[in-house]
Amino acid sequence: MTKLDDTLKMLKALTDAKGIAGNEREPREVMKTYIAPYADEVTTDNLGSLVAKKVGDGSGPKIMVAGHLDEVGFMITQIDDKGFLRFQTVGGWWSQVMLAQRVTIVTKNGDITGVIGSKPPHILPAEARKKPVDIKDMFIDIGASSKEEAMEWGIRPGDQVVPYFEFQVMKNEKMLLAKAWDNRIGCAIAIDVLKQLKDAKHPNIVYGVGTVQEEVGLRGAKTSANYIQPDIAFAVDVGIAGDTPGISEKEAQSKMGRGPQIILYDASTVSHKGLRDFVVEVADELSIPYQYDSIAGGGTDAGAIHVSMNGVPALSITIATRYIHSHAAMLHRDDYEHAVKLIVEVIKRLDANTVNQITFE
């Protein structure tokens, strides 16, 4: 087994933490533990987004670096008489990645293991076997014999259900497998940006943020942006890796290990041209690898941040990731480290005059 260095220990702690939208306390506490040593102040807004403030020049512009704390998962909605649990999705799920997967129900009495089940194919008509099972026809089996027993164990409607998967370093040690890369990798980037700025001069105030409820509508990004009132914002998140079998370059062109993705366009944001051009100039100057990408569907926290207050120049910088919104996703460590380096070097150059030029370019 690979010996975990300090960075990998942090990534494991972040991704193993359980926290769907509206239940981000555990990953927030992990992020706070790791980011507090590099911040001058750590607070939260009233929805629970974590805000870590690092002052370089107190009269300089405010720079927001936001990853989101929540992961996709499920919520218990009903317990039937036989002790099976009905649920709804929280965040986007594709039904084909769900069946027979292990989950953890987080209850007031502790964690309970379950498995997602459905009617067995052996008793279905031939035509029905050819079709994916609808999510509404799935249930969670916790091994209870009755509703009363399930409730005795602490199960209640509203309990969060989290995919079960432990952080794993692959045989190729650059490849990292975990649940919740979407978007604990963004939280990790925010932590490491403040870490690298700890003893560095920067002409601004930097906010490393872990937002809540991104997967259900970019909600914590909206409240935390109004709380901070940034002059420039970066949303750091996962993106689509187009390097698995069956994907054409036309569909998704990014490759793992080729650098962070500079998002040109997604369903929530047209990236700010002045900020995008400035980031690319810094990357080219320092030979930091990067890739362009655009995503027709989906979005990041930049979608809410850029339309807060009077408007905020914002850019999404993402990490090409395989198998997002499933139990196990994979990304490349080099992309993560290059994203941190790029954002740090950009922040070092964001003085008041530069921000003014970017804003009105």
Please say whether the beta carbons of 262 and 235 come within 8 A: no
In a domain, 1, yes or no: no
CATH of the domain at 78: 2.40.30.40
Q: What is the pLDDT of residue 1?
A: 63
Q: Do 271 and 308 belong together in one domain?
A: yes
pLDDT at 122 over 90: no
Domain boundary among 163, 187, 206: 163
* Banded model confidence at residue 119, pLDDT cuts 50, 70, 90: confident
Q: Do 83 and 230 belong together in one domain?
A: no
The predicted model scores a pTM of 0.96
- For residue 179 the two structure tokens come to 């649940």
Q: Do 232 and 345 belong together in one domain?
A: yes
* Banded model confidence at residue 46, pLDDT cuts 50, 70, 90: very high
* Banded model confidence at residue 126, pLDDT cuts 50, 70, 90: confident
CATH of the domain at 185: 3.40.630.10
Q: Do 265 and 349 belong together in one domain?
A: yes
Centre a 10 Å sphere on the Cβ of residue 264 and count the other Cβ atoms it contains.
16
In a domain, 173, yes or no: no
Domain boundary among 124, 139, 163: 163
pLDDT at 358 over 90: yes
Q: What is the pLDDT of residue 348?
A: 98
Q: Do 37 and 122 belong together in one domain?
A: no
Q: Do 253 and 326 belong together in one domain?
A: yes
Please say whether the beta carbons of 320 and 258 come within 8 A: yes
Q: Do 105 and 200 belong together in one domain?
A: no
In a domain, 172, yes or no: no
Catalytic residue numbers, as ranges? 214
Domain that holds residue 236: 6-71+179-359
User: How many domains is the chain built from?
Assistant: 2
Q: What is the pLDDT of residue 113?
A: 98
State pLDDT tens for residues 289-303.
999 999 888 889 999
